[in-house]
Amino acid sequence: MNPGTEIAAGGADGFEGSRSEFDSIVGWLDSPDTAGLDHGVLEEQLRTRSRELLRRLFQDHLDLRAAREVRLDGVTNAVEVVHSRVETGHHRYLSTLVGKVTVTRLAYRHPRHRNLCPADAVLNLPPGLHSHGLERLTAIEASRGSYDETAAAIVRSTGVRIGKRQLEDLAVNAAVDFNSFYATRPTPAGDPGDVIVITADGKGVVMRPDALRPATATAAANTGHKLGGRLSKGEKRNRKRMAEVGSVYDLTPVARTPNDIMNTTSNDDNGDDPVPKQSPKAKGKWVTASITSDTATLIARIFDEAERRDPNHTRRTIGLVDGNNHQIDRLTKEATNRGIDLPILIDFVHVLEYLWDATWSFHNEGDPAAETWVRTKALDILNGKARIVAAAIRRKATANKLTATQRKGADKAATYLTNKAPYLDYPTALANGWPIATGIIEGACRHLVADRLDITGARWGLQGAEAILQLRALRTNGHLDEYWAHHTTQEHHRNHHTRYHNTDLTTAA
């Protein structure tokens, strides 16, 4: 593009409107009417009046840019068609953090082709009404609470009213570059002696019928409930879709013993109150979540993150799960495909829950011996005797001549310990200082999914739920500012740069 003539600026300096508004505020503050007002009234009035002052400053600046916009000889679009006809006075509205403004600019035209407005590209204007600032504010507020609460928060801080459907669209667009951001973001390398922990879990989300997976939708359509007002025992509503959650973090190993875990030894000189040994602490925690991706896809992403931290596989990587067979299979397969030796451990807290189910087959509710039994068996499992414990539980149930109902918890625990024994190598884990609990991923499931998507009355569509999960993950990771710079750059490329051919858009400024 070759610069041509420049449109002369009108007015003295273009900011007469802003100065007039400022003078109006000063005059109000200087008037007798304000002499008796308390500070709260003054504060609120200034907040409202200053918003209009900022809006006028914004508008005056845009008008000045319009007056100074350089007229070009022509602009070439992406298919190499030159737009040589120039029209003045084309304008569009932009709703901003300080109110609605009008953007006036030159339009370059060619028959049967969309107008080109290089000034829009310089301003990086969105295709819709709402500014990137409002979109960012929506992303923050919508990831915190309901869309009704989001709308109210935006009105309080900006005075701008946005409809619920528009808020959801803004949130969806705000998260559109989530995957590309993490695919390209460099990750600092951890300490050589640290291990990398990868973990995954899932949490059901109530969806609108059109957003259910096919199998769930079919089950919902074919389920006839016995009662009209409530579910009968064993019935399901079949209205949830699983949100997959994953996490990667670094950890400095801290070697421990089974007694440290069960708190059965004392570090106190008097031998009274046991003092547990400090457990290894997570650092550099990264979380992700998706309701549109399946388990295999999400697990591939957490492996990608692990490899960004350790591209040459020089550090030990371990997997932590709650015992879900599909997750174990996917972790194993992904590790094999990437040439990673991945020890997988099952959360010890889950094992304890099975032991507590089993103890009631042998003890009455409230019997202190029940707790002693669980502690003894847990120590045996931590010492690598899971199969022995399973066999002992079955023998005891048989020796006590328990009925099928009475021994149900015992048999369930014994089967679990037998089947999961390959993933209960706690002696190796404790000696090497690895974690044996999945509190990180369970906390992520509560925070990312339950605390927002499981609020009363919420029914989600796929795009909306996915966007909120991603925005909450960005905020949890502390990456929102970095992401927003990436997002606005991508927005410029999508909305403007791709419409031009070999064009230096800055020449229109």
CATH number of the structural domain spanning residue 451: 3.30.420
**Locus of tokens 């640290």:** 194
**Joined tokens for residue 436:** 């044996």
Name the nearest CA neighbour of 248 among 190, 292, 295, 207. 190
Identify which of 69, 53, 56, 57 has the alpha carbon closest to the alpha carbon of residue 10: 69
192 within a domain of the structure (yes/no): yes
Residues 192 and 326 in one domain: yes
Same domain, 210 and 325: yes
- Asked, for residue 181, whether it belongs to a domain, the answer is no
Token pair recorded at residue 488: 């606005």
Task: Note whether 315 and 253 are same-domain residues.
Answer: yes
- Whether 174 is covered by a domain: the verdict is no
Q: What is the per-residue pLDDT across 75-88, written as a single tens digit (0 to 9) for each? A: 999 999 999 999 99
**Same domain? 248 vs 116:** no
Residue 311 shares a structural domain with residue 418: no
Q: Are residues 20 and 88 in the same domain?
A: yes
* pLDDT reading at 227 higher than 60: no
Give 449's DSSP letter. Answer: I
317 and 399 share one domain: no
**Residues 410 and 377 both lie in one domain:** yes
Flag whether 282 is in a domain: yes
Does residue 127 sit in the same domain as residue 201?
no
Whether residue 247 contacts residue 287, with contact meaning beta carbons closer than 8 Å, is answered with yes
Per the CB < 8 A criterion, the answer to whether 69 and 105 are in contact is yes
How many domains would you assign to the chain? Answer: 3
Q: How confident is the model at residue 186 (pLDDT cuts 50, 70, 90)?
A: confident
The pLDDT confidence band at residue 509, using thresholds 50, 70 and 90, is low
Is 167 within a domain?
no
Same domain, 351 and 420: yes
Decide if pLDDT at 270 tops 80.
no
User: Tokens 């002369």 label which residue?
Assistant: 8
Structure confidence at residue 7 (pLDDT): 38
Q: Can you give the pTM of this predicted structure?
A: 0.86
Query: What range does the domain containing 96 cover?
Result: 3-137+486-508
Burial degree of 356 (CB within 10 A; 0-12, 13-18, 19+): middle
- Look at residue 457 in the predicted model and tell me its pLDDT: 81
Same-domain pairing of 48 and 21: yes
Tokens of 28: 């109000």
What Cα–Cα distance (Å) separates residue 186 from each residue in 183, 312, 339, 482? Answer: 9, 15, 22, 12
Is the model's pLDDT at 430 over the cut of 50? yes
Helix (H) or strand (E) holding 76: strand 75-76
User: What confidence category does residue 279 fall into, taking pLDDT thresholds of 50, 70 and 90?
Assistant: confident
- Are residues 397 and 459 both part of a single domain? no
Tell me, yes or no, whether 207 lies in a domain. Answer: yes
φ, ψ of residue 242 in degrees (nearest 5): -80, 125
| pLDDT reading at 49 higher than 60 | yes
Q: Is 191 a domain residue?
A: yes
Q: Is residue 372 part of a domain?
A: yes
Give residue-wise pLDDT tens across range 95-147.
Answer: 999 999 999 999 999 999 999 999 999 999 999 999 999 999 999 999 999 99
Token pair for 271: 């031998």
The per-residue pLDDT for range 443-470, each reduced to its tens digit, is 999 999 999 999 888 889 999 999 999 9
Measured CA to CA in angstroms, residue 379 lies from 53, 104, 210, 216, 259 at distances of: 69, 74, 49, 41, 7
